[in-house]
Every structure is written in structure tokens, then in C-alpha cells.
Structure 1
Amino acid sequence: MEQRTVRGGPGPHDAPGSADPPGQRHAADARRRIPRTDDLLRDPRLAAAADRLGAHRVKAAVRQAQERARAGGIPPERVPQHALDLLPGTASGLRPVINATGVLLHTNLGRAPLSAAARRAVREAAGPTDVELDLTTGLRARRGRSTLAALRARVPAAGAAHVVNNGAAALVLAATALAAGREIVVSRGEMVEIGDGFRLPDLLVSTGARLREVGTTNRTTPADYAAVTGPDTGFLLKVHPSNFRITGFTRSAEVADLTGLGVPVVVDIGSGLLAPHPALPEEPDAATQLRAGAALVTASGDKLLGGPQCGLLLGREDLVHALARHPLARALRVDKLTLAALEATLTGPPTPTARALTAGPAGLRARADRLAAALAADGIDVRPVGSTATVGGGGAPGVTLPSAAISLPEPYAAALRTGRTPVVGRLEAGRCLLDLRAVPAEDDDRLAEAVRSALTGAEGPTA
């Protein structure tokens, strides 16, 4: 019997489905080329990522890449690389950021960046350490003893030192141990809000102390303190006003004016400056306040000191010992990683914060010129400009620092912020400024590469 072939129908050697339109056949073929999950997980690059980030996270990225390929968003050959691109650099959700805002201690960016010495110390302390063990005797030892010795060495005027988990905690511990059920005398002009809605009066009252406000917003004299100080006074409190300044018809009592009233004087200097700094002549420091007669100074470690987040307590040995032995101290203590980072900050080379604070304007401008020239050669609309930086973190309110920046079109702000290496700048006069004072010089190449990577999203392809 004669066989007849129907025009357009499948021939004897056609694969099933070959009657589909060419576009559908191509899509089906592409889907069949998508690598299997188990094959992808054996890719050395993804296997290494699983060791670093965890198998569950890598598998999720693989499946997301496969789905993208099934939808036609990427060719099957791109699946392994796309999965890698979806993975974060670390197992933490925190992403490293280049701080080009011109604010040295940016609270939203974690304030002070740790020095290389402090970062190494943290890595070394991540495993078992002798944090509370004397290796010579095999007996329990004082927690953080070498860190406390380093802190005392930096502030010889302090009879003793203690460390808690942040600056507010230092003040809470002092109020709880010295004034619970008693009065804390404080000037009305120093009843500040310390950030994110936390107000000093609420913080202190939560400890069980009562506040006795004296003076007015702009003028408080030593006589105002003397008039209310008595047997029910736990201590007199002096607070650095942090983020604001009052100028004009003003007066405030100095520590030396208050030391003869028969009760401890506690000074919250806030920003963590341990000794006077020539660039910040009006910023209070721990050494000066202790020499003036302060019984106790509290401060933050992650501001001008340039260390990890922690709270410092420096002062009379009997007071510091009482605070360190208070039951609340256990709840506020710092971990071994903070102790390691703080000690390395105190004993190591200048911190990134210290270098940024003292960077010369001429050097900053030269860096801006070099970056702008290199990026302009790639067709980017960029120019070097003068800029003004600030300390931030509640330190040195009103102080400005001459700086330099590179200026880019405004759309770069969002493109850089959401890039693979996030860069946070600031908008000014319709341009995105990347201020270099808080950017270490060794990060200039990373900054330039981030700008190049953001080019397409910010300006579109160049001709």
C-alpha cells in the first residue's frame, strides 16, 4: 500500500512537538538546556558559596536563576553566573557601604568605621579566647582586663574604668547605681533628645531616679545647683548638648564650679573624645572633665574615639567599682568582640575617624581631581568641587570641615545607593556629591568602579 506524507505534518524522524511554531520550539529547547539543580550545586563557585553562606541560601539563588531562565529573562548558559550574582557577600544582611556623605560619624551607617587593627582583633577573638581566664594560673580572671588597662593608660586622670554596651547604657548604669529613688540635678538647657526619639529625661526616670531641673534653657548658674542640692541628691549631671548649640545670652556652670557641693558630679561628654583635639577646641573631653573634678565621665566608644559601639565609664575608683558590681552591669556588659575591637582602637594606629578628621583640604582636592579626570575619560558627566563636611554622631555641633567631592548628575544618587557596592552621597543643588573626607584614600578605586557600574542606570548607555 502506498504511503503518503501529509504536507506540514511530522515526518518519520521529527521529534515530538516539532509541529510547534519555531518560537515555541526555541523556547522549549532553551528550557531543556537549563542546568539541573544538583549539577549547579556541584559548580565549584557555588559550592564555595555554600560553604561561606549556607546551602539553603545558595539553593534559593539557584532556583531563582533557573526561574529567570525559564521566563526567558536570561539564556540558560547564564544561570550559574546569575545565581552567583544574586548571592550577598556575607551571611549577614548588613552590606558594606562607602560613606561619601561628608558626615564622618553617620549614625545610619554605623558611626565610626573600625581600624584595620580593630578588624583583625575581632577576627582573632571570634574563636575561644582567654576573656575570663588566666592562662598562667588556670583560674578565672577579670573580664576585659587588658582592655580596661588600655583605657586607663589613655586617660591617666581616671582612677578606674568600666565598659558597657553603649553610651546611653553608661548613663543608665550610673543613674541606677547612684541615684535610684533619689534626685539627679540637671540644667533645663541640657535636657536633650539623643536621637531616634530617645529623650534624656525619659531615660533617667526609667531608672527610678527623680529629676530636679534647675536654671533656664539658656542660663544656669552654679547657685542654681547649690540651691537644690541636699541629702536626697544622688549626683549633679552635666550633659553635652550634642546635636545643637545655644548662642547669644547664655551661661552654664562649669564642672569646677560644682565640685564643692558635697555630691558627685557626673559628666556625659557624649562623643567619646578622650583628650583635647586641636581641630575641635570646644568639644568636651574626658581627661579635662576629670581634671576639673568630675567624679564620673560617661561617653560613647563609636564616635570620636573611632571604636566599636560601647559605653565608657571613667572616674573615681570607688564609684566605678560600685557600678561594675551592680546587678544591672551584667545585663549591660560587652562581648569579647567589642573588648577586642576597643583595645585595638586604644592601642593601635590612628583610626579612620582620626585620619578623616585631620585630612588636609589640598590632599582631598587632589584626590577629587584624579577621580573626576579618570571618570570623565569614560564619558561620565563629573567634575571636582569644593565641599563642606561635618563630624556627625552628635559630636562638635556647628563645626564644619573643608573638604572636596566629585559632582555627578542627580540620578546617580539612587543608582549608587542600590549598586553592588553601595555608595551613599548627598544631593546638593540638583547634583549628587560624593564627599571624600570620610572615604579612605585606599577606597578611591572602589568608588570609581561603583560610579562606572552605576553609569547605565543613572545616564543610560553612552555613545
Structure 2
Amino acid sequence: MARAEQVLRLRALPAVDEVLNKSEISQLLKEYPRAEVVGAIRKVLDTARNKILSGDGQDLQLKTIVDDVLQLVNQWKRPNLRPVINATGVVLHTNLGRALLAESACQAVKTISGGYCNLEIDLNTGKRGSRYSAVEELLIKLTGAEAALVVNNNASAVLLALGTLARGKEVIVSRGQLVEIGGSFRIPEVMEQSGCRLVEVGTTNKTYPQDYEKAIGEETALLLNVHTSNYRIVGFTKETRVAELVHLGQQYKLPVMSDLGSGFLVNLASFGLTDEPTVQQTVADGAHVVTFSGDKLLGGPQAGIIVGKKEYIDQMKKNPLTRAVRIDKFTVAALEATLREYLDPEGALQKIPTLRMLTEPVDSLHRRATELAKTIGDGLKDLAQTTFEEGLSQVGGGAMPTAQLPTGLVAVSPRHVSVEQLTERLRSGDPPVIGRVQGDRLLLDVRTLQANDTQPLLQALIEALQPLKGGDKQ
């Protein structure tokens, strides 16, 4: 583009006041602060100038400028944290918020959030109480432990426990259990941060009780067991069980801590899910301290739950770090409601979304996928081909890495756009839709689709599958 033409096109751009005087923008000013609207106009005009200076030959009409302003303001209006349709089949999808709360937990948070509550007051005595009292008795009842404490996540729980019980001392752990959890956080680094000294024993694939015993010395404060919830070592293996560590600990008067990671409160072996030990069994095996997450297999809010012997839990409650990692009233409310559902184990399988999704029968999933394929196919018409397929879901959230969950899929093969363009449009839609890509098809797993997702999903697909402007599929 010639310099003279660039200058003419730059001069042709409207002034801010000219855009403000358009009727559509005047209407916008009734809903949004003037400064926000003016900021959007300037941003759009700056983008237009940069396009001209870069040699973009497209004519930028005033209507285009106004439309871009309207679109930008509407984007700013949307919250950054928004509901997403999860069609990936990953039940505990860390990037999508992990566990869905039970209806009772949602209601509990709503009830507490609008007013004051007895978070730290004992209503019987009128004196200051503990924010953990609302959930401690439930955890004791459900797990069989003597005491309980809840902090903001499981990494904090491990940090607090190790820092309280073994700071400046040695902690013995199997080499095969030095796991890395989400976000590149590693157990050895958490242990180092807690102030204890790591002593590795055994080999990657085999660790025996005598390996721990040989490493016990005057500086040993704790025997640590870490459940490898996000990977498995298979084949020629041997891992020391918690009960064996407890027996060894009794001989040397050492406490045993077990970090379960995900943490199950129900036995789902009858559903083919056998990879995870329950919290109750670990407590029954004699572990003095057990830590696990609230927003994984438990199906509650983000939390780090610590249960075990009262003498050790009481020490943690007095640690100044406990205040830094404490939970708020919303977590207390949601966790209490979730734990109450477990008082009826059979009912919990249906009322806690995580458990419901994990245990839904395969024939139900196939039926739902078949019906969804027809509904979407009828709605999309010639925009895409849709078919039912069998497939596998994942538990996710660093839990049960080898679990095979048969499921039903809807395969969408776009006709006018590429699958990459389709997934990008779906992600930027309202609500965003996240699925799985296989070859040139988008796979929608019904396991993680909720009851009210069908119509928004269909509408999102219709919009995302429209032919590209100015041409067909590229």
C-alpha cells in the first residue's frame, strides 16, 4: 500500500466522538460506564490504525468500527471465570475445576454466603469456637479416626503434617513413591519446604520393610507412605503396605503418615474401580496421620483433609502455619454438606456428581450417546456428520490412572470447517465447549455432560460449524 493511500485511510478513521454519537453506542452508554465504552472505542481504533499501517487493504467502515466496539464491550462484560460444558469424559478435569459439587453443597454455600454464620463461635457457650468443628465430627465418624483437621489443599496438608511432626528431622520414604503432582510440584520439594530431611529407600520398582528398617536412625522422625495416585509401576514390583510400616513403626516408636492424594470414602470395587485404597482402610491399618484431597474422589470442594491420631492432629492445630492455610466459610459449608451425603453410602452414589459419573452403567451411557447423536444430527443438518461410537473415559485429577471406563461417544465430523477451527470456535463461545479431537473428528463423551447441557451444546455446535466467511473449509 502506498504511503499516500495509508495517510488517506488513516484520516478516514472516525474520531472517538463520532463513534460515541452512533445510536448503538449511545444505547451502550445506558448500560456501561462512559470510561469503559470510550476505552473500547480507542482500543478498536488503535487496532484499525495498526492494520492500515501493516498494509491491510480491507476497508474499515464506520459500521465495522461500531460492531467491533459492541463486540469488545460484550466480551469485557463476561466474567473471566465462566461455566464450561465438559464433553471430554474426564470426570475430575483439573483444568475445568475438578469435582462438581452436590446440590446440597451448592445450597449450603448459597445459604452461608448471604449473611453471617457461626464460623468461629460456639453457640452453646457463646465463646470462640473452632472453624473445623462443623466437619471434624463428621470426618471422625466416616473414617474411624480419632481427630481431623482441614486446610486449603492436600499439598498444604502434607506440608503442615511434615513440618509439625518432622521439622529438622529425617523422614523415610520409598524411592518409588517420590511422585510429582499437578503443576510440577514434587513430593521431595514439599518435604524440603517443610524443613524435614528426605531419606530415600528401596528402588524404583521394589521397596521392602527391611529397607525402611535399615535407614532408621536417631534422627528419624517419621515413616512416610505416598500413594501413587497419578501413575502405576507394573510388572516386577513390591511396595511396602501401610500395615507393614505401622508394624515397623511400633517397634521403633515412630509415627506413620500416609498421603493418599485423591482419597476415597467408598469402596467401588463392585463397579470395577479397585486402584484406590479407602481412607477408612488406611486408618484401620493403623496410620497415625492420613492426608487426602477434598475435590477429587471425595467429590467436594478444594481442601486438604487430615485425619488420624488425636495427639498428632492436636500438634498440627497449634502450628502457626495452620492459620496461613486454613479454609474459609464457603469451604466449610460445602465440605460439611458433602460429608453428610456419605452418611448414606447408597444415596451418595447418586447425589455426589463425581460418584454418579464414575458409576453410571455403560448401557445408560450408550443410550444417552445414541440419543444425543440423533438430536445433534437433526439440529446440524448438513453442517456435520454425527455418529455414535463406543469409547473410554478417564477419571482424571491424578486418580486411577489405569482405570478403564467404557463410555458412549458422539463423533462430529465437520463439513465446512476444519476440526481445529471447530474446537477453537467452541472454546471461545458462550458457554465454552471442550471436547476431544481424534483425527478430523470432534468426540463428545456423554459421561461428563450434565442434564441441562444438550440445548446449549447443540446451539454452540450450530454456530461453530457455520462456513467460514468468504470461502469453504480451509
TM over 0.5: yes
Cα RMSD, aligned residues only: 3.1
Equivalents in 1 of 2:126, 2:256: separation in Å?
40
Deviations 1:69-106 (A, max 9, x none): 9953748997997577434443xx21221111121111
Cα distance in 1 between the residues matched to 2:463 and 2:146: 53
For residues 155-194 of structure 1, what are the structure 2 equivalents within 5 Å?
Answer: 155=143, 157-194=144-181
Task: Indicate the residue corresponding to 2:323 in structure 1.
Answer: 330
The reply on whether 1:96 has 2:83 as its aligned counterpart is: yes
| Structure 1: gaps spanning 5 or more residues | 1-23
**Per-residue CA shift, 1:199-227, capped at 9, x if unaligned?**
11111011111111111111111111122
Tell me the TM-score normalized by structure 1. Answer: 0.83
* Helix, strand or coil at the partner of 2:448: coil
Q: In structure 2, do the counterparts of structure 1 residues 32 and 251 end up closer, same or farther at CA, with 3 Å as the change threshold? A: closer
Offset at residue 107 of structure 1 (A): 1.4
Deviations 1:337-359 (A, max 9, x none): 11111112212452211111011
The 1:39–1:209 alpha-carbon spacing in structure 2 relative to 1, beyond 3 Å, is same
| 1:249-283 Cα deviation digits (max 9, x unpaired) | 11011111121332111001111212322232121
- Matched-pair contact (CA < 8 Å) for 1:187–1:214: yes
Does structure 1 retain, via aligned residues, the 8 Å contact 2:258–2:289?
Answer: yes
User: Residue 355 and residue 64 in structure 1: after superposition, are their counterparts in 2 closer, same or farther (change >3 A)?
Assistant: farther
- Out of 266, 269, 276, the position equivalent to 2:267 is 276
Higher mean C-alpha deviation, range 57-66 or range 132-141: 57-66
Whole-Å Cα distance in 1 between the matches of residues 205 and 74 of structure 2? 56
CA contact (8 A) 1:218 1:249 kept: yes
Counterpart code for 2:186? R
Q: Tell me: CA distance 1:192–1:429, structure 2 relative to 1, closer, same or farther (3 Å).
A: same
Structure with higher Rg: it is: 1
* Aligned twin of 1:388: 392
* Equivalent in the alignment of 1:211: 198
Among 308, 311, 316, which residue is 1:318 paired with? 311
Alignment partner for residue 397 of structure 1, among 401, 414, 424? 401
Aligned-partner residue type, residue 369 of structure 2: A
Query: Is the 1:33–1:76 contact (alpha carbons within 8 Å) kept by the matching residues of 2?
Result: no
1:72 aligns with 2:65: no
The question of whether the paired residues in 2 share the 8 Å contact of 1:34 and 1:79 is answered with no
Aligned partner of 1:3 in structure 2 is none
Letter aligned with residue 409 of structure 2: A
Alpha-carbon contact 2:166-2:196 (below 8 Å) kept: yes
Match of 1:302 in 2: 295
Shift of 1:446: 2.2
CA distance in 1, matches of 2:432, 2:100: 15
Instruction: Look up the match of 1:286.
Output: 279
Shift in CA distance, 73/109, structure 1 to aligned 2, threshold 3 Å: farther
The whole-number CA distance in structure 2 between the counterparts of 1:56 and 1:362 is 56
The aligned runs of 1:23-172 (5 Å cut-off) are: 34-35=22-23, 39-42=27-30, 46=31, 72=61, 74=63, 82=71, 85-90=74-79, 93-126=80-113, 127-155=115-143, 157-172=144-159
Q: Is the 8 A contact 2:232 2:402 kept in 1?
A: yes
C-alpha contact (below 8 Å) 1:238/1:266 kept by paired residues? yes
Change (3 A) 1:282 1:304: same
Q: What does residue 352 of structure 2 align with?
A: 351
> Residue 376 of structure 1 aligns to a residue in which SS?
helix
Give the structure 1 partner of residue 231 of structure 2.
Answer: 244
Deviations 1:280-315 (A, max 9, x none): 212122110110111111001110111111101011
Q: CA deviation at 1:121?
A: 2.0
- 1:325 to partner: Cα distance: 1.3
**Greater share of helix:** 2
* 8 Å contact from structure 1 (residues 34, 66) kept in 2: no
Change (3 A) 1:368 1:62: farther
Superposition deviation, residue 187 in structure 1: 0.4
SS at match of 1:238: strand
1:67/1:369 Cα in 2 relative to 1: closer, same or farther (>3 Å)? farther
Count of aligned pairs: 425
Alignment CA distance shift 1:77-1:414 (3 Å):
closer
TM-aligned CA distance change 1:88 to 1:113, over 3 Å: farther
Letter in 2 for 1:398: T
Q: Which amino acid aligns with 2:161?
A: A
Determine if contact 2:275/2:403 at 8 Å carries over to the other structure: no
Unaligned stretches of 5+ residues in structure 2: 1-11, 49-58, 342-347, 414-418
SS at match of 1:397: coil
Deviations 1:392-424 (A, max 9, x none): 111112111001111113242222122121111
The SS at the match of 2:466 is: helix
1:233 corresponding residue in structure 2: 220
- What is the CA-CA distance between 1:443 and the residue it aligns to? 1.9
In 2, Cα distance between equivalents of 1:275 and 1:32:
61
Give the AA of the match of 2:338: T
Give the 3-state SS of the residue equivalent to 1:204 in structure 2: helix
CA distance in 2, matches of 1:273, 1:57: 48
- Which residue number corresponds to residue 368 of structure 1? 369
TM-score (norm 2): 0.81
Q: Which residue of 2 aligns with 1:445?
A: 455
Specify the alignment match of 1:406 in structure 2. Answer: 410
